[in-house]
Amino acid sequence: MIRSTTALYLTFLASFLSIGYALFAAYYVLSKQDGNERMREIAKAIQEGAYAFLSREYKSIAIVAVIVFAILWALGAKSEHFGLLTALGYLTGAVLSGLAGYIGMVVAVKTNVKTAEMAKNGLAKALNLAFRGGSVTGFLVTGFGLLAIAGFYYISVYIFKQPVEHTIKALIGLAFGTSLISVFARLGGGIYTKAADVGADLVGKVEAGIPEDDPRNPAVIADNVGDNVGDCAGMAADVFETFTVTTVASMVLGHTLFDKAGTVGIAAMFPLLIGAIASVSAIIGTFFVKLGKSNNIMGAFYKGMVATAIIALVIIYFASKKFFAGGVNYSWGVVTPNSIFLSAVIGMAITALLMFITEYYTSYEYPPVKSIAKSSVTGHATNIIQGMAVMLKAPAAPAIVIALGIFFSYKLAGLYGIAIAAASMLSLTGMVISIDSYGPITDNAGGIAEMAELDESVRAVTDPLDAVGNTTKAVTKGFAIGSAALAALVLFAEYTRAIGAGAHSFDLSNHLVLVGLLFGGLLPFYFGAMSMEAVGVAGGMMVEEVRRQFKTIKGILEGKAKPDYASCVDIVTRESLKKMIAPGLIPVLGPIIAYILFGKIALGALSIGSIITGFFLAVAMTSGGGAWDNAKKYIEDGNYGGKGSEAHKAAVTGDTVGDPLKDTAGPAINPMIKIINIIAILIVLTNL
């Protein structure tokens, strides 16, 4: 018990350090110059659009949150594990998830114009500023995540004197709160950003022949707003959810595997301690992110990630020796300090390999993206065909990596080894989210430089920063989806224990298992289809609006009249909030309907079916979309005819197809599969 309490206090310390670092980074960034009056005017329009959207989105989500809060509270009459305690856990997770995304986005939309101004001083300084701006979101995610779990546990057990059994189970409610926020934030922000992008690309680039960030493009402000609400606030909610759900799932599994009734030992608290170690390691790792003589931007980020990984593993090694001295008894043997440490090494290796594989498929330094660019020479159809081929190949290597990781971590420490590997995957969370949030900052910086008509030397700095930002965003999604697959498997393991089922209960000869697998496998496809459809409808409305303005507002293309940016912002705001509700209800209602119709075994099979197809579909969508995007940028750099060529037009079409795949449907599948698994556990624990 003493060791578990020590782990809890160390987690508090790490959370305060992370939040403190985020505040320091925010102060550093906000103290920099904003540029000239035109730059400030553009930045203000982006800021106002982002604030307005997020405010309206959170109001919509709050309505759903209040309803779910009341339902969880009411379920207290059915189970000793639930009631007000779980409902409060749910509310804690939801509020802190939203807060991390909102604060991070506020800083990001203020950093973009400062990065454009800093670009006048060279690549290294602009990179440093953009990364520091992104690190605000990164360390708020880890800091708030650790504070949510540790704070909820401490208040429940030590202040309100709730039994530890109830508190550990109630943490599932906290995880559910972060998941629900995440799926709606991902959907709402994703529909917004891609609908705006469709209007900016198809009408602005292809039909009118003007750059995406040209001030004559009516969709340009909405497009820049979308980068922030989708890739900054949306991704923050996504990885906040991944961080908390993985940690909670590992804690619950550790508790049920090792602890006696009424106690919480180090096995339950060690996944939380791994998160604390990782958070502090990432703070140190940020100081290694520096541009070398080769000006390799991705290389600068890898320095920080390698440093973070090494520091985290060294500390985890000594922590394993300290907290698991003598080993911990398990049903089939003893879990030793070495088995714990090696499971953590496997988790870290999975992260590194997934990031490298994702970069391989999405960076234009490698063959997959170049093959799409080359196929664009022969037209739009061949671009789509080759892009689809790359997309379908992309999940193969990640699936093999995760399968091997599961196999070896189970050999080391059973189900707990898989849980430790999943928790260890999150050791790079602070660093990964920092470089992800860097993406929309540099994208906006390039847009502001274009619209403010800054010198070409500024775009010579912001363009390469933006190109790497596309890769970092794809890498982050690969990281989130890979860890989501492991987290969902841990949740499924806890589900089987909760219903008292053995491996035989999910025998494929059982017709209920087949029914559940088929329905579970279907859900990610239908969810993805509805998400894509939402982007298509909203994007179509944007296309019509941009065309209308070009026809009715005389002098736009000559630069003599100002477009009506506000109407474009209003259209995507209204439509994205309206269209996020229906697909967002699929992971909530799907498992409930399956349970009512077919029972617990079918519900468990539905959970595992959604994990398998959801993982493949999410990786294919995000990697394929990223590859299409960078194929376009590869051509824009002067290859295969450059901007304005027929190959470029075909690549723009491919990019437009890939956009909702990589920024809406694909990433939203990540929280979707975890919501399904969490609701399955909630159903079982409430004895419905």
- What confidence category does residue 391 fall into, taking pLDDT thresholds of 50, 70 and 90? very high
| Two structure tokens written together for 655 | 């990019």
**Dihedral sign, Cα of residue 469, residue 470, residue 472, residue 476:** positive
**Most confidently modeled of 134-138, 179-183, 461-465?**
134-138
Q: What is the pLDDT of residue 688?
A: 52
Q: What is the pLDDT of residue 476?
A: 75
Q: What is the pLDDT of residue 261?
A: 67
More confident residue, 232 or 146: 146
* Residue 598, number of CB atoms within 10 A of its CB: 17
396 has a pLDDT exceeding 80: yes
d(CA 68, CA 280): 34
pLDDT tens track for 621-676: 999 998 998 899 899 888 999 988 999 999 989 988 998 898 889 888 988 888 89
What is the DSSP annotation of 162-188? --HHHHHHHHHHHHHHHHHHHHHHHHH
Q: What is the pLDDT of residue 574?
A: 87
| Two structure tokens written together for 421 | 């590997």
Q: Where are the domains of the chain?
A: 2-685
Q: What is the pLDDT of residue 100?
A: 82
DSSP letter (8 states) at residue 35: -
| Two structure tokens written together for 283 | 């703070």
**Most confidently modeled of 306-315, 323-332, 537-546?**
306-315
Query: Could you tell me the CA-to-CA distances from 577 to 146, 191, 254, 531 in Å, in that order?
Result: 30, 8, 39, 12
d(CA 588, CA 591): 7
Query: Could you tell me the CA-to-CA distances from 176 to 46, 406, 597 in Å, in that order?
Result: 32, 24, 23
Phi-psi region of 555 (alpha: psi -120 to 50; beta: other; left: phi over 0): left
pLDDT tens track for 260-282: 766 777 888 999 999 999 899 99
Q: Which residues of 272-296 are buried (b: 16+ CB within 10 A; e: fewer)?
A: bbbbbbbbbbbbebbebbebeeeee
- What confidence category does residue 385 fall into, taking pLDDT thresholds of 50, 70 and 90? very high
What is the DSSP annotation of 424-454? HHGGGHHHHHHHHHHHHHHHHHHHHHHHTT-
Query: Could you tell me the CA-to-CA distances from 350 to 42, 313, 359, 546 in Å, in that order?
Result: 41, 14, 14, 44
What is the DSSP annotation of 288-354? T----TT--HHHHHHHHHHHHHHHHHHHHHHHHHHHTTT-EEETTEEE-HHHHHHHHHHHHHHHHHH
Q: What is the pLDDT of residue 262?
A: 66
In terms of DSSP bridges, do strands 328-330 and 333-335 run parallel, antiparallel, or are they unpaired?
antiparallel
pLDDT tens track for 48-58: 888 888 888 88
In the chain, pLDDT over 70 holds for what percent of residues? 96
Query: Could you tell me the CA-to-CA distances from 481 to 350, 402, 470, 572, 614 in Å, in that order?
Result: 12, 11, 17, 27, 9
Q: Is 645 helix (H, G, I), strand (E, B) or coil?
A: coil
Query: Could you tell me the CA-to-CA distances from 504 to 243, 510, 601 in Å, in that order?
Result: 31, 9, 11
| Two structure tokens written together for 14 | 């790490």
561 φ/ψ angles, rounded to the nearest 5 degrees: -130, 150
| Two structure tokens written together for 531 | 């998400």
Asked if residues 432 and 135 have their Cβ atoms less than 8 Å apart, the reply is no
In the chain, the amino acid numbered 56 is R
CA 411 to chain centre: 30
Query: Could you tell me the CA-to-CA distances from 487 to 77, 307, 568 in Å, in that order?
Result: 29, 25, 39
- What confidence category does residue 575 fall into, taking pLDDT thresholds of 50, 70 and 90? confident
d(CA 223, CA 206): 16
pLDDT tens track for 31-80: 998 888 888 888 888 888 888 888 888 888 888 888 888 887 877 655 55
558 CB-side CA count, 13 A: 6
In the chain, the amino acid numbered 455 is D
Q: What is the pLDDT of residue 76?
A: 61
Q: Is 31 helix (H, G, I), strand (E, B) or coil?
A: coil
- What confidence category does residue 360 fall into, taking pLDDT thresholds of 50, 70 and 90? very high
Q: Of 581, 446, 448, which Cα lies nearest the Cα of 47?
A: 448
Judged by average pLDDT, the poorest of 80-89, 247-256, 271-280, 567-576 is: 80-89
| Two structure tokens written together for 345 | 């090494």
